[in-house]
Structure 1
Amino acid sequence: MTGGNIGSRTAPASVAPPKPMSPSERLDAIDVLRGLALFGVLAMNIVIAFRVSIFAPSLLNAEPAGSLDRAVAAVLTVAVGSKAVALFSLLFGVGLAIQFERLAGNAQRMILLVRRLVVLLAIGLVHLYLIWDGDILVEYALAGFVVLPFLGGARWLMAGAALLLLGLYVTMLLLPPIVPLPGAAGALAADATRAYGTGGFFDVLAFRIREVPAIFPLHVMAFPCTVALFLIGAFVWRSGVLRRASANRRLLFVVATVGILLGGGLSLAAAGQELFDWPSLGRAHFPVEQLGAVVLALGYAAAVIVAVNLSGWRRMLGWAAPLGRMALTNYLAQSVICGWIFYGYGLGQFGRLGVAATLAIGIFVYLAQVVFSAWWLRRYRFGPVEWLWRSCMYGVPQPMRATVNLAIMRARR
């Protein structure tokens, strides 16, 4: 692997090398995808990890869900599930590749990118311990360090490493699970109900410090897949498909069709035993479920990119772009808002609401973020946390007002 510029191979004289996507085009494609993925992330997080503890399924005396809750849970399981997180991971890989490319002429490129990930790691640790135990930013930052050396290498190396890591992930899923035994998980679920449902902030913090080590094995399991998705995202950006989406519309349409049909089929097969009393897949359940999530996420991404390149759909989906431009701020805000709604130091709704009612709250929170993001970005260039992230990365405060001349910002880099 080399640390040189991306695409160092000389293009034939008759073929112009692909130009980087303009800000407006990138916003229409990548930021719309981020904005839409945020809804899926919120929908699953609020239902699975804020409404109850992630260990709640271990409680044998859990109250059975009503028919509406079961139907909503079925749709979320098959259509959203881990697909939103997989899509978010793909987009993070795209973002890393874009940053690497933009800093091609900067002698401190790797230092800046490492600093960017260190800041993300710090934000993630604060989020993990003080706000919510389901943080994904720590895992993203650590996976980013693994991916950095690949960004300057050949595309085949990215693709090969991604396939190897996915193979490792599937193999790990076939092994006995490295999660707490049912008795330990049940005890954690009962303690979580007491701490999160009725405890104050410091009670929640004390329990979270005890809970995080029990959750850590789940991140160990997911880590190879996260790195693989980052590499796939970086590979897609390097391929030029996103920069020439109109010219690659047929390819994107095929990926969307195959991804949605195949990924949806795998996801349905994995959920079939729980939803329809289909025969059990045994140890193959988790590999089928997770591969379905990856394939379906790719299908969703391709479908949205095709739609964004159609003028009518671009206008219809444009509302999601501001949400995606400040995705980090919105992700953290979702945790703060949901913590206030469900935990004992807020409204104390932990363990009291069904799936459908909880999802309705999530939809309301998401719509509020759509309105707020549009309002904020009419006045400012970045979301608040994005501003902090960029300022720490470059070592100087970044111009915040939307009217600031971009030349000033470039001169300060």
Structure 2
Amino acid sequence: MVYAPIHESLPGPISPSDRIESIDALRGVALLGVLAINLVTEFRVSIFQHFLPAALPASSLDRAVETVLMLAVDMKAFALFSLLFGVGLAIQFEHLAANSRRALLLFRRLLVLLIFGLIHLCLIWNGDILTAYAIAGLVVLPFLFGPRWLLLAGAAAFLGLYLTMQVWSPPGLFPSLASIQSNVEEANRVYATGNFGEVLAFRLREIALILPLHIYVFPRTLGLFLLGAFVWRSGVLQKPNHVLLFTAGAGCVGLGAAMILLRAGNAMAGTSFGVLATPAGTILLALGYGAIIIAIASSARGNALLGWAAPLGRMAFTNYLAQSVIFGWIFYGYGLGLFGHLGAAEALAIGLVVYVAQVIFSGWWLGRHRYGPVEWLWRTLMYGTPQPLLRAGLNDSGQRAA
């Protein structure tokens, strides 16, 4: 069998054989946290339900599930995803270093993501994070051309702004309690019983209320993107020191958990430090989770333990969108109409079944294809030429079989 190399002037995506398995495994694990939070707090009920003085969940099991998710997972999974997106941007930037069209290709990559995000936001689910990630990526892109210290300084500045906003937010940023109450009542009716057109119309109207939430967290997203890019540039992910990562991870988890638990126990209520404790603790927990999982997954035994998550992480884009389609059908009126009818534990059980199915499907798919279907389309649109999809037509170095 003779192989002819793809023309050297044409840039291409990173070969599957060059990917770092531990990063993919971390992304796959983080996707479980994202699924759990999205399912319990946004698909099952209105996202604004949690801003109201609501009654306690119906059962002790539901209360336990919500407590664990809020304390241990909640924004931590999204913070991990933001860090990993920054890592991915830095990897792409480095991969295209020798290409004169690097800036254009990366801009096109983010523009395509923005288009995907807007479609997802408007037509499938308005809890979308892809649109915000694409816009944040465009803001972060110029920083990648600077030195490593600029990435760290930018991360510190944006995270500092985010923490400042915990103490002082722009007046009028958030909707009134009355508008939130009205929205929740309408959501309970439309999402549970509406047809696709009615759900779509309400989803588009609801975006105006959701937008302030994205604005509020946007500086954190920027900061974590830059921090992820800095971590990649530091080299710690290429040749991880297990002892160092475990030590740093345990320290971050311990400190972050302590801050969140103290704040949850109202020990610091009413103080400036108390206001900052939960958001700062969330970032520390995310860093700790990431360091520990990377340390485990990068060892031989750890890879055997977490290797199942790597294919899921490589197909995170496909799986994230698939979750929105599946859960939309389960909870909205044009499908099973279970919106507002399930407790947190029941909804999470459904989510775990979907997650396990995606783990199995991702492993099967990537055994036969180089990329997930949406990942393949993303790369094809980014590079402006169809990318090879089937494994049978290529060897591991990206050469096409003659």
Whether TM exceeds 0.5 here: the answer is yes
User: How many Å apart are 1:83 and its aligned residue?
Assistant: 0.3
Which residue does 2:262 correspond to in 1?
A: 269
1:251-290 matches, within 5 Å, as 251-273=244-266, 280-281=269-270, 287-290=276-279
Distance (whole Å) between structure 2 residues aligned to residue 395 and residue 406 of structure 1: 22
User: How many Å apart are 1:284 and its aligned residue?
Assistant: 5.2
Among candidates 348, 367, 377, match of residue 388 of structure 1: 377
User: How many Å apart are 1:25 and its aligned residue?
Assistant: 7.1
Among candidates 342, 346, 352, match of residue 331 of structure 2: 342
Among candidates 324, 329, 334, match of residue 318 of structure 2: 329
1:29 matches 2:22: yes
Stretches of structure 2 lacking an aligned partner (at least 5 in a row): 1-13
Equivalent residues, number:
385
Residues 1:374 and 1:286: Cα distance change in structure 2 (over 3 Å)? farther
User: How many Å apart are 1:78 and its aligned residue?
Assistant: 1.1
User: How many Å apart are 1:64 and its aligned residue?
Assistant: 4.2
1:305 matches 2:298: no
User: How many Å apart are 1:287 and its aligned residue?
Assistant: 2.7
* Contact residue 112 and residue 382 of structure 2 kept, 8 A: yes
1:176-195 matches, within 5 Å, as 176=169, 178-195=173-190
Which residue does 1:351 correspond to in 2?
A: 340
Residues 1:407 and 1:306: Cα distance change in structure 2 (over 3 Å)? closer
Amino acid at match of 2:168: L
Which residue does 2:129 correspond to in 1?
A: 136
Distance (whole Å) between structure 2 residues aligned to residue 306 and residue 41 of structure 1: 21
Which residue does 2:349 correspond to in 1?
A: 360
Distance (whole Å) between structure 2 residues aligned to residue 180 and residue 309 of structure 1: 45
1:217-296 matches, within 5 Å, as 217-245=212-240, 248-273=241-266, 280-281=269-270, 287-296=276-285
Distance (whole Å) between structure 2 residues aligned to residue 241 and residue 192 of structure 1: 45
Distance (whole Å) between structure 1 residues aligned to residue 394 and residue 76 of structure 2: 39
How well do the aligned residues superpose, as a CA RMSD in angstroms? 2.0
Amino acid at match of 1:334: Q
* Contact residue 17 and residue 397 of structure 2 kept, 8 A: no
Amino acid at match of 2:393: V
1:100 matches 2:96: no
Residues 1:25 and 1:257: Cα distance change in structure 2 (over 3 Å)? farther
Distance (whole Å) between structure 2 residues aligned to residue 222 and residue 322 of structure 1: 29
Which residue does 2:9 correspond to in 1?
A: none
Which residue does 1:203 correspond to in 2?
A: 198
- Secondary structure at the aligned position of 1:134 is classed as coil
* Contact residue 57 and residue 343 of structure 2 kept, 8 A: no
User: How many Å apart are 1:280 and its aligned residue?
Assistant: 3.2
* Contact residue 85 and residue 228 of structure 2 kept, 8 A: yes
Residues 1:314 and 1:63: Cα distance change in structure 2 (over 3 Å)? closer
Residues 1:153 and 1:286: Cα distance change in structure 2 (over 3 Å)? same
Distance (whole Å) between structure 1 residues aligned to residue 184 and residue 38 of structure 2: 16
Stretches of structure 1 lacking an aligned partner (at least 5 in a row): 1-20
* Contact residue 174 and residue 284 of structure 1 kept, 8 A: no
TM-score, normalised via structure 1 length: 0.89
Moved more, 248-257 or 373-382: 248-257
Moved more, 286-295 or 314-323: 286-295
Residues 1:64 and 1:256: Cα distance change in structure 2 (over 3 Å)? closer
* Contact residue 262 and residue 268 of structure 2 kept, 8 A: no
